[in-house]
Amino acid sequence: MDIVASLYGRSNLLEIVRRTAHDVFVPLTVGGGVRSVDDVAQLLRAGADKVAINTAAVQRPELITEVAEKFGSQCMVLSVEAKRQEAGHWQVMTDCGRERSTFEVLDWVQRAIELGAGEILLTSIDQEGTRKGFDLELLKAVECVASVPVILSGGYGQAEHLLAAIDAGAQAVAFADALHYERATISQLRAIASQQPVRLRAVS
């Protein structure tokens, strides 16, 4: 994820994707600065399996349908940056969480799924980087309206947070800070997840 790509109007992930796909043999989702069907096509040719779109989809929701119809819904991941408002409501943010949209998260998720989104990458702006745990209320609210898998992101700090996310219904959990700063390893996270009755990808 190039998290500031839309903010700065850039799209320079292709070479990174090519190099990554050459040596990494698990499904690869790429996001950041994706603005068109052609952008998606280039990323898929470079080795991506799925493409995550936030800002461009908010600006032109029809893009979701265009991507889904050309490459399949399984390729079209809707990235949602959620900012808590009053109780039970979250606003969709764009441009790395800096810009407010007119969409409410639950309404947007439902509409995006109807348009063809096959997966939701759900990030809590309020929890991201805090290491205080995921926004489980947000997850449960989205799960109630989403008929596609939801990946939860933003807030991991310790083992209990991952177990709570799984228990709350997340189909997958995303990590960044914990891995970047070596507070956890993939093996450690897999060991934590194995404490719950969930399926883990086999290690080759």
Tokens of 185: 């390893």
Query: Does a structural domain hold residue 108?
Result: yes
The whole domain housing 188 covers 54-193
What share of the chain in percent tops pLDDT 90?
Answer: 79
Which pTM value belongs to this model?
Answer: 0.92
Query: Does a structural domain hold residue 96?
Result: yes
Query: Does a structural domain hold residue 102?
Result: yes
Q: What is the pLDDT of residue 33?
A: 87
Determine the residue type at 193: A
User: pLDDT digits over 41-57, tens only?
Assistant: 999 999 999 999 999 99
Query: Does a structural domain hold residue 204?
Result: no
User: pLDDT digits over 71-89, tens only?
Assistant: 999 999 999 999 999 888 9
Domain count, the chain: 1
Residue 22 contacts residue 43 (beta carbons within 8 Å): no
Residue 124 contacts residue 155 (beta carbons within 8 Å): yes
Query: Does a structural domain hold residue 156?
Result: yes
Query: Does a structural domain hold residue 147?
Result: yes
Rounded to whole angstroms, how far apart are CA atoms 13 and 46?
9
Q: Tell which phi-psi region holds residue 37, choosing left (phi > 0), alpha (psi between -120 and 50) or beta.
A: alpha
CATH number of the domain within which 132 lies? 3.20.20.70
